[in-house]
Structure 1
Amino acid sequence: MKVNQLLNVPDLEGMNMIAGQSGMEREVKSVNMMDAPDIIHYLNKNEFLVTTAYHFKDHPQTLTNLVEAMATQGCAGLGIKTKRFLNKIPDEVIELANELSLPVIELPLHLSLGEIVNHSLRAILDQRASELTFALETHKQFTKIIMEGKGIGLLLQDLSQMIQRPVRLIDQYFKPIFQQTPEGTYPIFSEEITLPKSPISPISFSISDTRETYTLFPIHISERKKGYLLINGEVKKTDQLTSLTIEQATNVISFSLMKESALRQQGRSIRNDFFLHFIDGTFSSQEEIIGRAAEFSLRNDQKYICVVGKIDGDKFQPSYAERHEKADVIYDFIEGEVSAMTPKIHFFTKGESCILLFESEENVLHPSMYCESILVQLQERIFKYYENTISFGISNLCHTFMDVKNAHKDALDALSQGKFSKQIGYIQTFQAKDISELLRMVPQEDLRNFYSFALSKFTDIKIEEEQTLLDTLSVYLETHCQISETAKRLFIHRNTVVYRIEKCEEILGKSLKDSETTLQIRLALRIRALLQN
């Protein structure tokens, strides 16, 4: 209860303010009655002191010491029965009370000090009971909105109407999570603004350019993530009703966001489990992989670029546990950053590394350049917020989800390649080193078409004979057409090799002495091995 509210209590009619009017907003939390000469030693903050001033009747000027001590202690005010022992409060006391904004109130004669104390305490308790009832009803109202599945957006709308101020829910980087106002009206804050890591009380600040004031109420989301209710204008501590309403909203929102965070963690664990089993090759069939991938919106006919990222070594966090904890925080941030991007980016973690699977759209001319631009932004923000650097390895474009397994290996290889040429904070794109890696960049449908064109005539013979002839042809070309070496590797007679090679030339209708023909067949045989894996 504030001093001005205390003056309006019906049972205390007759109380008059005689000094310190500028302190009318002081908070009254308790009332005390004292006439001892050592009153000063028993003063408490936010306490309203009532007295007959008996011990000051002979030396009224010494009241200045009491007024000064009460102001220093943060007391609410001083009530004096002026017509009892003091005919008049000295002018210097009034001047000091005005200067220190300490209310000095004249108490009515028809009420005893005990009655004044009782009426005051009853009024304080009644107001506190009303506030608690209001808090309970407000909490019920906000909880009902969440329990009925109407969402945080409607809760913010109700809160905004109750406090008559625009309200937004933001994260610790001033990114909006929910907001009650239209998207275009969201204020743009300078990147220089930083927030305390673990605030426990509201924070008010002003923007120098616009001279607008905002108040932040902290919200706990998870162990590593904080949020804030951003309220337009300053919410003063003395505005208890507004603060109480907002606090109830923060409690309900906090529980709701903690629940959502736990569900996201569970979902991430399930996604990670699937992806790690996929790249480790533990699934029994391609159909099973495609079916499971579809559950996580990973279409097999979608083109992807795989990126593997890893936090660069931190000399200030030498232990594995510290590095792992820091990586978890940063990867959680990355997941939040990429979750709403278009085209979609799928996020996974494996040990100390993270995996970003970029979906590639047809209208993107240079998908790898698009990936790099996103990764550069992530590197800048990670360094700004966490003072850490992170490096990335990028695979080439793969044409189906089934190809992501090899793309992941390529991204890991690119990440390893980058260590040899750059120290920290690099982005390295995979460079093919042999013909098999080069062929993996070609869509499988095109590979199948080339293979069918080059070796289609072999399908007209029996499967067993086809396998024998193709195996012989493969070894023959790999040994640079040496019959004896081919026979040695296949453990057969050289005449058998001669017979099989002649049979192959007969089926193909081409001579294997032609360099163009042998190149085409060698590529087709490489493709055959690739498609069988």
Structure 2
Amino acid sequence: MKVSKLLSSPSLEGMRVVAGESGIKREVHTVNMMDAPDIIPFLNRHEFLVTTAYHLKDQPHLLNELIQAMANQGCAALGIKTKRFLDSVPPSALKLANELNFPIIELPLALSLGDVINHTLRLILDSRANELTAALETHKHFTNIILQGKGIETLMKELSKIIDCSVHLVDQHLHSLSDQQHQLEIFVMREDIEREIKRISSSSPISISFSLLVSKKTYHLFPINISEKKRGFLIIEGEIPQENHLNILTIEQATNVLSFALMKEHALNTHAKNIRNDFFLHFLDGTFKLQDEIINRAKEFSLQNDCDYICVVGKVDQANPHDSFTQRQQKSDNIFEYLEEVIHQTTVNVHFFTKSDECILLFEAHQGLSPYMNILKDIQLRMTNRFNQTISFGVSNVIHSFVQVRTAYHEASESLSQGAISKRTNFIQSFQTRDILELLRLIPEKELSHFYTHAFKGFLSIKPDERESLLQTLSVYLETHCQISETAKRLFVHRNTVVYRIDKCEEILGKDLKDPETTLQLRTALRMKKLLEA
């Protein structure tokens, strides 16, 4: 309630402003009576103080100190009952009140201070009751909008109309939760808004206000709970004066109703997503045996069998080795939640799933591999900018039906493992069929050395120079598919020299080099020799 309402009240007829008239828009929340000279330490903001000035009649200069203190404290006004102990307000006090825009009100003789206090309290209580009644009606109105199925968008439009301000609904990642977003210029200043959101998330659930220097506009952020761990924000674009209790109450009722609506929507979406994810994981695990069953179940989730797919498996690169399993999982869940929202805003068709600490992106491959690689690179850039965290991806080959996705998943997982073995981070690894050397690298070095030594144990007893010459001839001989002439040509030696060396090798090994099993063993051992010498 404002001071001006006190002056216009019939029950307080006779009160008039004698100074500081420009301050009559100050808010009045409480009323108090001055019955002692040491009132200053007990003053409260938005307080209307009434007095007979008995303690000031012989010390008028103290009135100036009282006025200054009340103005500094943010009090509403000072009511003085003149013609009792103080004939009139001193000119110096009037001048000071005018300079401070602090109202001094002359109280009528016909009303006692008790009457003034009682009437003022009644007006304050009536004003609050009216505001609460209006808030209750607004809450019912907003609730009916949701219950009637008109949706969050209708509620947002109604709120904007009531408070005469643009309103926007976003989640904690500043992704739109309504269609009002196209007019919101704050997304140009995304970093500033995110900084304010971090403040409100880490401090208290109370709303905050801020202004952007670029646009010269003021914004108000009101937190809205979407789930136990997820929070959204109602952003009001424009000024909302603190004294406008009705608008603030209206916004609070809107946030309450929006919170319940979003909680319900989030619970339904989470349930549907879990069902979808469970189907996909059971499919990967081979739970469904019949192809027709797989195809029919997949159709329920908009997964068509006669479609080309690319499977991508992603995993967050763990930066802190001291994180516990729970901490790593929570970090991955938070990143995957954001990632899912990001990819659903792309123009390509992609299905998103999670499996423990992995995310699985199933792209409908209509445009080749290049566009999807660009999307993955964009995701990696977003992860670095938002979470200061990197993520790596393994990419499968294109497959031509949904029933082949299990194969594509294993290709993508193997690609991710290949990149991880090389100790890389923030990579995108496409699937490639492994050659013999890549397979041999998976075997411990000790086992490689043991196999090689066993295969060529007969050569250990001859001189090193002769051993190297024989092994080189044997290697070329095996690589040329046991062709004597081609071996001699590559080694720049006579044909008979090759024949002599090969016979010598067979003698040392005690094996026939025309035997396929023997040649396979020797060629594998020679490949191992390259790895051991690398």
Q: Tell me which interval the TM-score lies in, with the shorter structure as reference length.
A: 0.7 to 0.9
**Contact 2:168–2:184 (CA<8 Å) still a contact in 1?**
no
Q: 1:275 to 1:49 in 2, by over 3 A?
A: same
1:347 aligns with 2:352: yes
1:155 corresponds in structure 2 to 155
Q: Distance in 2 between matches of 1:349 and 1:278?
A: 13
**312, 320, 329: which one pairs with 2:334?**
329
What secondary structure sits across from 2:188 in the alignment? Answer: coil
Q: Which amino acid aligns with 2:54?
A: Y
Shift of 1:404: 0.8
What secondary structure sits across from 2:122 in the alignment? Answer: helix
What secondary structure sits across from 1:222 in the alignment? Answer: coil
Shift of 1:271: 1.4
Q: Distance in 1 between matches of 2:388 and 2:99?
A: 49
**273, 278, 281: which one pairs with 1:276?**
281
Ranges in structure 2 where 5+ consecutive residues have no aligned partner: 437-480, 482-534
2:137 corresponds in structure 1 to 137
Q: Distance in 2 between matches of 1:13 and 1:317?
A: 73
Identity %: 53
Q: Which amino acid aligns with 1:357?
A: L
1:338 aligns with 2:343: yes
What secondary structure sits across from 1:78 in the alignment? Answer: strand
2:191 corresponds in structure 1 to 192
**Contact 1:317–1:323 (CA<8 Å) still a contact in 2?**
no
Q: How many residues align?
A: 431
What secondary structure sits across from 2:65 in the alignment? Answer: helix
Counterpart mapping for 1:383-532 below 5 A: 383-421=384-422, 423-433=424-434
Q: Distance in 1 between matches of 2:311 and 2:157?
A: 41
Shift of 1:188: 4.0
Shift of 1:305: 1.1
1:111 corresponds in structure 2 to 111
What secondary structure sits across from 1:177 in the alignment? Answer: coil
What secondary structure sits across from 1:87 in the alignment? Answer: coil
1:311 aligns with 2:287: no
**Contact 1:146–1:256 (CA<8 Å) still a contact in 2?**
yes
1:235 corresponds in structure 2 to 240
**Contact 2:227–2:266 (CA<8 Å) still a contact in 1?**
yes
Q: Distance in 1 between matches of 2:425 and 2:102?
A: 61
What secondary structure sits across from 1:267 in the alignment? Answer: helix
What secondary structure sits across from 2:233 in the alignment? Answer: strand
Shift of 1:174: 3.2
2:253 corresponds in structure 1 to 248
Q: Distance in 2 between matches of 1:29 and 1:373?
A: 59
**Contact 1:395–1:414 (CA<8 Å) still a contact in 2?**
yes
Q: Distance in 1 between matches of 2:401 and 2:303?
A: 10
Ranges in structure 1 where 5+ consecutive residues have no aligned partner: 436-479, 481-533
What secondary structure sits across from 1:190 in the alignment? Answer: helix
**208, 216, 222: which one pairs with 1:217?**
222
Q: Distance in 2 between matches of 1:201 and 1:235?
A: 15
2:307 corresponds in structure 1 to 302
Shift of 1:7: 2.3
Q: Which amino acid aligns with 1:209?
A: V
Q: 1:392 to 1:40 in 2, by over 3 A?
A: same
**Contact 2:173–2:338 (CA<8 Å) still a contact in 1?**
no
Q: Which amino acid aligns with 2:408?
A: A
Shift of 1:301: 1.0
Q: Distance in 2 between matches of 1:30 and 1:68?
A: 19
2:209 corresponds in structure 1 to 204
**361, 382, 392: which one pairs with 1:356?**
361
Q: Which amino acid aligns with 2:251?
A: I
Shift of 1:244: 1.3
**Contact 1:156–1:179 (CA<8 Å) still a contact in 2?**
no
Q: Give a deviation string over 1:464-505, Cα, whole Å, max 9, x none.
A: xxxxxxxxxxxxxxxx9xxxxxxxxxxxxxxxxxxxxxxxxx
